[in-house]
A and B are shown apart, each in its own frame.
Chain A
Amino acid sequence: MPSDMQIPPIRQDGLQLGEDRALQIRLWRYQRMGWVAFGAMMLAALCGLTGGGGPLSTQRLVFDGATVQLPLVGRWRGNEKIVVAFEQDSAGEIGFGSGFNSVFSVESITPEPGRSRLDASGVAFTFDGSADGRRMASFAVRPSVPGWFSFEVEVAGDRKPVWTFILP
C-alpha cells in the first residue's frame, strides 16, 4: 500500500468514511455565495454589462451635426453595431481615430458611403444626403481583440474620445 494513501477513519457510529463536516459547511456557504454571484451575473447581463445588447451595453455621443451610438461593452468576435444619425444640415462625415481599426473590423456599412478616406489619423466616411435630408448610417463591426480600448470619433471637426470594453 502506498505510504501516502490515507485510510478513512472509523467513526463512532461505525461508518468508515472521510467526512469533513466543517469543510463541507464552508463549501455549502461558498455554494450559496456562488448562487448570489450567478444572480448578479444574470442581472449584469440583463443590464447589458456583459455586451450583447441591453441598456448599458451602448453609449451615445452627441456632436454638433450627428449622434453616434456605439458599443460600450462588446464581445470578442461578436456582432456589434455603430449607428450614426446625421442632422439635416450636416456634412455627413464621420471619422474614427487610428485606434478604431485595431479594435474593430468593419464587416459592412449601410448605406455605402459616398467617399472614404484612410490616413495616419484614422479612417473617415462621407455619406451622401437622401431626398428628405435625413441620413442614417449603420456600421456592422466585429471586435477583433478583447480588452479595454480607446479611440476618437470625429464629426464636423469635433473630436471626442471613446472607451470601449471588449469581453473575451
Chain B
Amino acid sequence: MESVLRGIAIYFVLLLVTRLSGRRTLAQVTPFDFVLLLIVAETTQQALLGDDFSITNAMISIVTLFVADILLSHLKQRSGRAAAILDGTPVVLISEGKVDAEALRRSRIGLDDILESARQQHGLARLDQIEHVVLEVGGSLSIIPKQK
C-alpha cells in the first residue's frame, strides 16, 4: 500500500512543481538544467523507494507512476479544460508581426530567444521577417516566417 501512496504523492508533487515552475522554452535549456534534472531524479528516487530496495517495491512504484500518467492522459483527452489546466495552452507571442510584450514577459522569453529560434529553424536574420511565433504546449517555439 505504501509503495502506491508514495508513487501517487511523488507523481502529483512533481506535476505541481513542474507546472508551477513555468514553461521555459526548450531552446533555453542549459547544461545546468540537465544537472538539476539529475539531482531531482536522485532525490525523487529516495522518496519513492524509502528504505525498501526490493524489486517488488520498484515494480509497484513504476507501475503506479505509469498508471497515474495513463489516467491523467485519459482525463486530458476527455476534458479540454483539464488538458488546458494540466498542460497549458499554446501562447501566441508574435501575431502578424506584432510582438505581444505581455505574453513574452509572462512566459519569460526574450526577443533574443525568438531570433535564435528563427535563425535555427528558418535562417531568418531579422524580426521583421517573422509573421507568427507560438510558444507551444511542449515548450518549443514555432516560428512562421512572412510570405515573400
Contact = CB atoms under 8 A, between A and B. Distances in A.
Contacts of B51: 77
Interface residues of A, number: 24
B91 A4 contact: no
Contact of A31 (B20, B50, B90): B20
Contact of B84 (A4, A17, A23, A35): A23
B136 to A, nearest CB: 9
A39 B144 CA distance: 38
Interface residues of B, number: 24
B126 interface: no
Interface in A38-91: 38, 77
A13 B89 contact: no
Nearest to B78: A4
Given A17-B90, A19-B92, 7 more contacts: A11-B95, A13-B92, A15-B132, A18-B90, A19-B90, A23-B89, A38-B17
Interface of B: 9, 16-17, 19-22, 50-51, 78, 80, 84-85, 88-92, 95-96, 106, 132, 134, 144
Interface of A: 4, 6, 11, 13-15, 17-21, 23-25, 27-28, 30-31, 34-35, 37-38, 77, 168
